[in-house]
Amino acid sequence: MAFGESTVGGAAIVKAGGRIDMSNAEAFRETLVSAVASARNAVIVDMDGVDYISSAGLRALMIAFRAAKSANKAFAVAALRPLVLEIFTISRFNLVFPLYGGVREALYAVGAPTSGGPA
């Protein structure tokens, strides 16, 4: 599991890769909550590199989503692979988080400028 963080137009972008499960969900949660604290107006979780997410990973997302909501910041999830999208759908998390096809689309939706940002 790998995590990276960048900022585009006041939005913190957390890029995740690999599997998110019980072995690394706490580190994922810490990364997300840190991104919420540092973001000016939004957090976007780029899931393009994620092959699998367990309930522990979904819980980490929910904790960060609630932190963002409390801080009056937007929170979005982008670029889900088909298996991960299926997990979101089965668990009904697709009804909880705004989901976008890509990071650029999510940035546009939260009102962050995309020039010079990730594709």
Tokens read off for 28:
């994922």
Sequence ranges of the domains in the chain: 2-107
- The whole-angstrom separation of Cα 36 and Cα 84 is 22
| Amino acid type, 38 | S
Q: What's residue 118's pLDDT?
A: 47
For 77-98, what is each residue's pLDDT tens digit? 999 999 999 999 999 999 998 9
**pLDDT for residue 119:** 44
Residue 17 tokens read as 């890769």
In angstroms, the CA 78 to CA 112 distance is 14
Residue owning tokens 């107006």: 41
Superfamily of domain 2-107: STAS domain (3.30.750.24)
Tens digit of pLDDT per residue, the chain (119 long)?
678 888 888 899 999 999 999 999 999 999 999 999 999 999 999 999 999 999 999 999 999 999 999 999 999 999 999 999 999 999 999 999 899 999 999 999 988 766 544 44
